[in-house]
Amino acid sequence: MVSSRPRSAAASRSRSIILAALAVTAVLVGLLGHRASSASTSSSSSSATPSLSTQPLPPGPPERPEGDSRGAAGEADGVVPDGVTVFDDQYPAVVKLGPALLRALRQAATDAARSGVTFNVDSGWRSAKYQQQLLDQAIATYGSESEAARWVATPTTSEHVSGNAVDIGPPAAATWLSKHGATYGLCQIYRNEAWHYELRPEAVTHGCPRMYADPTQDPRMRP
């Protein structure tokens, strides 16, 4: 009679190999599952955090009014096409500025031109109609009158309607004025509006006054 011991040992070894293989398989499946979960979590986290390119940019000077062209403001109300300079007398936005403000702007622009800087009028004098359209547009854009007030005044308080304010572009011109404007009595009034300038004659000798954070801090803007 042949002994059964060798056969039993072989069977035991086979079972051990099979169990070991199953254990390795389980480990591999676990690792793959963990990686898939991590990738899903990372993807979800990434999609929940907007990239820098999706962050809203600070607003610039008021745009031309939108809507029905029959009722929209035009050049006679102070709307200007691109590229209008402080020397373009055919535009009401320029020639209806206060005479002293316009003289100071043209003197500054003449001196800035020697450095290759051109002063464009992005917005100057505005009619009350134009100002109201810009305000309505701002309320629609920002969602409330209080938020819109940080960027656009009412027709009764706007220094543009009175001809005492101008929005200067491009950025190189506003930068030049921020450095040299006080020499001509031209001052940036609001910290959040680098393009908005008004005449402050006393700035020639005493420098420009401290800026308001935005128009809502300006006592003149209160009804």
In a domain? residue 57: no
In a domain? residue 34: yes
Going from the C-alpha of 80 to that of each of 46, 64, 125, the distances in angstroms are 43, 8, 10
DSSP reduced 3-state for 199: strand
Q: Say if residue 174 is in the same domain as residue 125.
A: yes
The sign one gets for the Cα dihedral 158, 163, 165, 167 is positive
Question: Residue 61: what pLDDT?
Answer: 60
Per-residue pLDDT tens over the stretch 50-100: 333 333 335 566 555 554 445 789 999 999 999 999 999 999 999 999 999
Q: Say if residue 120 is in the same domain as residue 157.
A: yes
Q: Say if residue 44 is in the same domain as residue 117.
A: no
Q: Say if residue 125 is in the same domain as residue 212.
A: yes
Q: Say if residue 12 is in the same domain as residue 82.
A: no
Return the percentage of the chain with pLDDT > 70, whole number.
69
Q: Say if residue 177 is in the same domain as residue 124.
A: yes
| 134 burial type by CB count under 10 A (0-12 exposed, 13-18 middle, 19+ buried) | buried
Contact 61, 195 (CB under 8 A): yes
Question: Residue 129: what pLDDT?
Answer: 97
**144: containing domain:** 75-221
Which amino acid appears at position 168 of this protein?
I
Question: Residue 223: what pLDDT?
Answer: 73
Q: Say if residue 102 is in the same domain as residue 11.
A: no
Lay out the sheet containing 186-188: strands in order across: 120-123, 165-169, 196-199, 186-188
Q: What is the C-alpha separation between 124 and 91, in angstroms, rounded? A: 10
Contact 159, 220 (CB under 8 A): yes
Q: Say if residue 29 is in the same domain as residue 129.
A: no
Nearest to 177 by CA among 154, 200, 152: 200
Please give the model's pTM, rounded to 2 decimal places: 0.71
In a domain? residue 12: yes
Q: Say if residue 155 is in the same domain as residue 211.
A: yes
31-35, 113-117, 159-163: least confident range: 31-35
Domains contained in the chain, number: 2
Q: What is the C-alpha separation between 159 and 113, in angstroms, rounded? A: 27
Nearest to 137 by CA among 148, 150, 126: 148
Q: Say if residue 100 is in the same domain as residue 187.
A: yes
Q: What is the CA radius of gyration of the chain?
A: 34
Q: Say if residue 125 is in the same domain as residue 185.
A: yes
